Structure 1
Amino acid sequence: MTTPLIKDEAIITALDHEGRGIAYQDERTIFIDNALIGEKVRFKIFKKKKKLFFAKSLEIINPSPKREEPICEFFGMCGGCSMQHFDISSQLAHKQRAFEQTLQHVGKVFPDQVLSPVSGPTSEYRHKARFRVKYVEKKQKVLIGFNEKLSHFLTDMDSCKVIPLKISSLLSPMQALFTSLSIRDQIPQIEYASNQERHILVLRILEALSENDINLLKDFQEKKGIEFWTQTKGYESVKPLLSSMQKSIVYKNKEFNLSFEFKPTSFTQINPFINAVLIRRVMNFLNPKPTEVIFDFFCGLGNFTLPIASYGSNVVGFESDEALVESANINAEKNKLQKLAEFKRVDLFKVDDQAITSLGRASKWLIDPPRDGALNLINSISEENKPNLICYVSCNPATLARDAHVLTNEKGYKFAKAGILNMFPHTSHVESIALFEINEQ
């Protein structure tokens, strides 16, 4: 029997968690980029795997009322954003549904209370980014930006709506600047970091800058009000372009009157606006009290640790990166919280129950792991080290769901509440926070 051909038009009946439209034809599932529920679209298939087909939309024949004009002219080409065709309320509703479905389907869990989603600015929110840089011989031009969607090619772009306007407006001038450098083909990336006052661009350079290169970069940064730093090898080689430039950078948490010194290549929250709300919600969940002991796992620079200490709690932050631990202890001292907050290096992906028990006893835990989650740590919970309460901040609903299953089914906790925060508008990324309490039943 001949398999029916895939038609090049379809009506979208669902969305996947990445925001792609889903259509069905003859028991085959087609994932179509840039398509919304209810829309009739014309598409072109670019990849197939058994009965799964992946396609690009070529024409929206019947647009959804929820479709919105993308804020960026490079949407659809650039792979940085995937949801600019949604209106923002629909984006948030989609992420909420995806979050709840992941908890139910992956973890077979659901919180007693679902919190309202939190949103903030939808443009110019991204204060940390990594740009690819490539000199294209045929164009005699340096490109700076993000990969094209579904491709390893670099998008030829001269603006970006999710980074601050100051940096977006410099993409085109920087392309011209870098094209004039002697090492134009030896700069593979730029690491951007900002504290909302200073804008630092760390150039990864594979060959030394010439004296003329340095002068060109120096003139540009003085005129444009930004700072060029360089990185020749590992992170330890990162330094300002000129020895006379300020070597430390600080971001402030005004609500808690805290200052955090950090390196431009260190991990910091990309969205400072949502981060402020997230810290506030973490404090509400933990309800820190004077003299009680709280552990902060995967603490980084102390983004949550120092606010906890400001309540008078004794808090210990644990992190595997030695440089982050060193910076966090310095920040505790500079904020005069060193008697309440201390930081220790521990590889939390290799601990067992004995190792966790040896850290001491804390009544409350905060866990903020990377995308891999904290399963090893969760499995290390025992009667000897068990906290009464766990606040879990997650950047991956699937690993949160997995870990929540263990906490509720094996470790004796109830899943009290959870909610999402729109840390990355226009993307499928879901940031969330969850609270687990000892089940007294």
Structure 2
Amino acid sequence: MATDIKDTAHAVEAAALMRLLPARPQLLALGEPAHGEDALLDLRNELFRQLVEQEGYRTIAIESDCMMGLLVDEYVTSGSGTLDEVMEQGISHGWGTFAANRELVRWMRAYNVRAVNDGRPASERLRFAGFDGPLEITHAASPRQALTALHGCLAARVDADLLPCSAQTLDRLLGSDELWTNRAAMTDPSQSVGQTPEAGQLRLLADDLVALLDAQTPHLLAAASRDDWNRARLYGRTATGLLRYHHWMADTSPARMTRLCALRDLMMAHNLLAVAERGPALVHAHNGHLQRGKSAMRMWQGPVEWWSAGALVSAQLGEEYAFVATALGTMRHHGVDAPSPDTVEGLLYALAEDHRLIDAPRLATALAEAPPAPRVSPWFGYAPLDPAHLADSEGIVFVKDVPQS
């Protein structure tokens, strides 16, 4: 069995990864089992460089606020702002402070400057996207930014009589942003404003604004660029998604957290499908958001399960979506020591070099007669592989030892 497993391993390189796939996918999803580790982010950066230079990929999408990500995209494509500003204001969850994320953005900007100097067309520019909603498991943003931006895009380009309301009406119905961002609402539905009469009116108006955007597509594409139109579509998805999320934050049923987790991944999926429209992209996020199976988490009200963004996108794109999970051996600064030899990670730890790319379906076949045990993590921030779903990914990137960032 050891020989069979070793035969599935390759160097972690774009060329080796592409050989595992039937064709170049529009979305190549690289998962990570833990957030905030520069070693994993450095590996992502190197793989993205190779995909750009060897395979024609031009976009990277990461698990970060989709609205904030527009600032990073503006910087890497046009140089708007400074690197310090976009790292602080353009990447959510505090991840703009990580050296590897800063290096990614710096390299993308430098690549685009060279492309312009070489006279290459705009289609050769690298693009950046955040594909998470403006929310986290602890809170959600006010819908004000997305909703008013969508209204502004339409007000500037269509007959005023077609608008379902004025900007002043939106402002009055939105009220104070602090009411929307109240973190107590995450665990206490009575603190949420998501089911107030004003919130109900906003949901209807957001729906009408998105419908107007769709109905005016030929005119809008003639009056502005496709990038402007795509940005307006992002505003619409985000506004309706946030209003829907806030509505269910006020729910008191047992399905509340299951529904909220599902809605977050649904917003991610819609953003990823939009990213796929503009060409091949590398997607980077937690394994749990990108896997093809259901995601699961134990929360304060008990265990919840929902379909991940990867499962939703894979169902629509088929072979145009590929998923590669990352697994690790040790992360000793978090108490994750050498894995038990009867786990998938333990088998790979005994055989693999520092970084190896594993053919996941072949590995699953090799282990079919003696299924490995699930690994149990001593640290809540690390999610081991589920040995029952090895074949649901095209590959596994195994990192033997993750040093402290």
Structure 1 and Structure 2 fold alike (TM over 0.5): no
When normalised by structure 1's length, the TM-score is: 0.27
Q: Which has the higher contact order (CA 8 A, sep 6+)?
A: 2
Higher Cα Rg, which structure: 1
The structure that is helix-richer by fraction is 2
When normalised by structure 2's length, the TM-score is: 0.29
The structure that is strand-richer by fraction is 1
